[in-house]
Amino acid sequence: MTDVIIDYEVEDRIGTLTLSRPPVNAMRYEDLGALADFLSELPRGEELSVVFETAGEKTFMAGHDVNEFLDYDLEEEPAHTETYLSLLDTVYEFPLPIIAAVDGPAVGAGCILPSLCDIRVASPDAHFAVTEINVGVIGGLGPMKRVFPDGIARRMAYTGDSVSAERAYEVGMVEELADDPTAAAQAIAADIAAKSPDAVRAAKESAIEGQPEWPVEEYAQEREYNAKLRAGENAEEAAAAFLENRDPEFEY
């Protein structure tokens, strides 16, 4: 049973989606599935855009809950792949503009989900990273190449290094830096809310149709690699070392 808290409110034609799983919003597959179900079943009301934020003062989203990898059942990999892909598809093809308000570290899924939103606003102390490599698996290269230059995306995937909000703004991944990213995102949403609802919905539909198809095959291949990696001792050692805050001892 998921313990992620999903709150959604609509005011002045602006939807605000708040995600919370204390203490650092680290998600498990069932939490990601709950978010996918929530978004896909969300009734369409008067809102013309959605502001996506997370609760908590220090971390936007700390990625995947690494504890789940320690007792990982490889037989569940196909179901997990379907869950994650469903969430990415739902965000990518959501019929209204989504504005991500990123405050604090955005790691793993916390980096990938904003990359699929329409607009990203970040606080100066935010940073972006895909750190799957640190726990012995891979992830995030495809989505990162959508919003970062190719070399930066590859470096993130190969090293787990983070990109500062300022650097993300310089290269166009972040559209605006703001001390209060939620307030800035709400201001953008208010601008959208003042436009013709028919035109806004048509603009979003046109944006979806005009961009490349979501790279399902690339993601599926990535998951195949991860299934093999998780079956090996090095991935188990990497995850254990991460949780124990020590250097891993790999087999070469």
Instruction: Give the rounded distance of the alpha carbon of 153 from its chain centre.
Output: 15
Instruction: Give the rounded distance of the alpha carbon of 250 from its chain centre.
Output: 29
> Which residue ranges make up each domain of the chain?
5-180
Backbone angles phi, psi at 12, to 5 degrees: 55, 45
CATH code of 5-180, in short, is: 3.90.226.10
| Tally of helices (H runs) and strands (E runs) in the chain | 11, 9
Rounded to two decimals, the pTM is: 0.92
For residue 193, give both structure tokens. Answer: 């809310």
pLDDT per position as a tens digit, 95-140: 999 999 999 999 999 999 999 999 999 999 999 999 999 999 998 8
pLDDT per position as a tens digit, 134-185: 999 998 888 899 899 999 999 999 999 999 999 999 999 999 999 999 999 9
User: What is the spatial distance between Cα 27 and Cα 32, in angstroms, rounded to a whole number?
Assistant: 7
Beta carbons within 10 angstroms of residue 242's beta carbon: 16
Question: Nearest to residue 161, comparing CAs of 170, 169, 151?
Answer: 151
Angle between helices 216-230 and 233-244 in degrees, nearest 10: 80
